[in-house]
Amino acid sequence: MSIPLQRRSMAALAVLAGLTLGAAAQNPAPSADETSAEHDARMQWWREAKFGMFIHWGVYAVPAGEWAERKNHGEWIRETAKIPMDVYAGFLDEFNPVQYNPEQWVLAAKGAGMKYIVITSKHHDGFCLWPSKLTDYDIESTPYKRDLLGPLKEACDKHGMKLGFYYSIMDWHHPNYPPRGWEKDRPREQIDMEKYVVYMKGQLKELIESYDPVVLWFDGEWDAWTKQQGADLYAYVRSLKPDIIVNNRVGKRTRELGDFGTPEQSIPSRGMPGWDWETCMTMNNHWGWNKADKGWKSADSLVERLVDIVSKGGNFLLNVGPKPDGTFPDEALERLADIGTWTSRNGEAIYGTTANPVGPVSWGRVTAKKGAEESRLYLHVMKRPADGALLLPGLRNTVKGARLLHGGHKLEARSGDMGLTVTLPEDVVQPPVTVAELSIEGAPKVVKPAIQPDDDGVLTAPAALAEIRAPDRVSPPQISGEGDNAYVSHWHAPSASVTWPIEVKQPGVYEVAVVVSAEQEGAYMDVGVDYTSVQTQTSVPDTGDYNTYTTVHVGPLNLSYPGRLTLSVTPRAEGWTPVNIRRVILTPTFGAMDGGDS
Ligand code: H79
């Protein structure tokens, strides 16, 4: 392995540095083989690119999703229609993409504003789109015979498009990979994963040496694959090409292995803080070509998804499933062109930006380019408020100017008690998403409004306003749902905690209660503020399921001074079992001063 083995100490420094970093997709080095700076350099083009094209193509395009009575198959058709191997091999005889023109593909991607392409070099069916020396189950066994990946790579190079490969770990064809459960006729005796791993490594070496891909996008790892095998494969492909970027399905989709997370067909509601990630999504309801599938997403909604993802610090990998003749479906081409109209006007608000540094806004999404001297915030307006006031809550910077990104129309911006407001007149709205560019002095400074006591002096800290704290490489708890129904979930790591800014107006003793659920009894936690805390006296009970909440009375907490404090809930490591939390309630035991009855 050619990568220098150094640093543990740098990793520790990165942990410290991480505490002061904002919402940018700052990642710790993924393993001991590179520094944080080296990791950042490797990830840089990918973090700036934001938008890529996924291509699912293979011999499964031949049946076009149709088999027997059903028309809803896709690239899984061999499995979902239970097609025996010799029958499936018939698709190879029919796969002849004579219309294949990779330059047109690349231009369609580029026209949409995409910066990279990831194509299925081999999907679960095991069929290879390039002439592999290690199998005959490849393009050479079709009437077309010629390499599909080489010409695509050439077209990408010609037009400044980056190219990466999807490669399925699961392989329904290879004799050393376990046959499907329903395949009674295939021998199981000869299965030898070690031999299969040699095959995979050989193929990945071919792909890297022949086409120099920038990304490897593994999949099909859930079936017969271990974390250890993943770690070994990750190290192997990085040894062949040290700056290659690898998704987390090389392992078991955790944060421990691989360079980015891979939500599929979904956008995490608060992004994946502290991690690089990419949502992959279909334009209709299938990855591989399905001619009956008319469930196309609108171009407008695809633009909104791109904006949503980028505002949360992720990339968008949008899929096209080409037809067996080598052309893109018309519906896909139309959508790519329409998305391109928007990205060509508003690309500055997408490429090279970082996640929303301000916090959620009711009218749309925010992206940013932050600098110490000056920063730009891009206000992506999806629902213009009736009065046109685009509030950035808690933002305290001095305004340098504001304008529409496309067209340059000047906009008014002013600071107020609630934060900074840009006004968007009704007659300049540009569907599907209007972008206003706000320039401010310095890096964004946000003072989150602290939770205020109600008329009875009660402080209620809801999950919707919680901030999550977790060490690097630890999967943080997630906030789901909206408003009073929001909850913190997936709290597997006892090293993670949940905090809120609160304003104490009346010093004194407060009774602490938490509204929680758990599917196992046993968790204890501390509830406290900056200088004092109280621990749950009894453990959180099993509430039956995570949707059933109960109030646990924690005990008294003496808040001796008025002012802004950080309320936190911190697990006790021993006996920890994941707890969902809806809210924390601090009730004064002394009667409120301005609540009336004291
Ligand atoms: O390559 C695409 C999918 O083929 C692959 N990942 C993306 C990027 C993928 N593999 N598994 N899954 C997605 C989820 C598995 C879904 C399944 Fe099914 C449910 C497999 C069988 C039942 C979906 C529905 C596929 C066939 C029917």
d(CA 230, CA 186): 26
Quick one: tokens of 210? 């022949």
Q: Please list the alpha-helical segments (H only) found in 50-99.
A: 77-80, 85-94
Q: Which residues line ligand 1 (CB under 6 A)?
A: 56, 75-76, 80, 219, 264, 280, 287
* Ligand 1 pocket mutation pick from 219, 279, 316 by most atoms within 8 angstroms of CB: 219
Reduce the DSSP state of residue 504 to 3 states and report it: strand
Low-confidence winner among 15-29, 217-231, 508-522, 555-569 (lowest mean pLDDT): 15-29
pLDDT class for 31, splitting at 50, 70, 90?
low
Give the Å distance between the CA of 219 and the centre of ligand 1. 10
Residue whose Cα lies nearest atom 3 of ligand 1: it is 287
Tens digits of residue pLDDT in 428-438: 999 999 999 99
Give the Å distance between the CA of 82 and the centre of ligand 1. 15
Q: Is the pLDDT of residue 9 over 60?
A: no
The alpha carbons of the chain give a radius of gyration, in whole angstroms, of 27
Cβ–Cβ under 8 Å, residues 280 and 265? yes
Give the Å distance between the CA of 76 and the centre of ligand 1. 7
- Residue 571: beta bridge partners? 525
Tens digits of residue pLDDT in 232-262: 999 999 999 999 999 999 999 999 999 999 9
What CA–CA distances, in Å, run from 545 to 516, 519, 520, 537? 11, 5, 9, 22
Q: What DSSP assignment string belongs to 288-354?
A: S--TT---PPPHHHHHHHHHHHHHTT-EEEEEE---TTSPPPHHHHHHHHHHHHHHHHHGGGTTT-B
Give the Å distance between the CA of 55 and the centre of ligand 1. 15
Residue whose Cα lies nearest atom 23 of ligand 1: it is 76
- In whole numbers, what is the pLDDT of the chain averaged over residues? 93
Tens digits of residue pLDDT in 327-366: 999 999 999 999 999 999 999 999 999 999 999 899 999 9
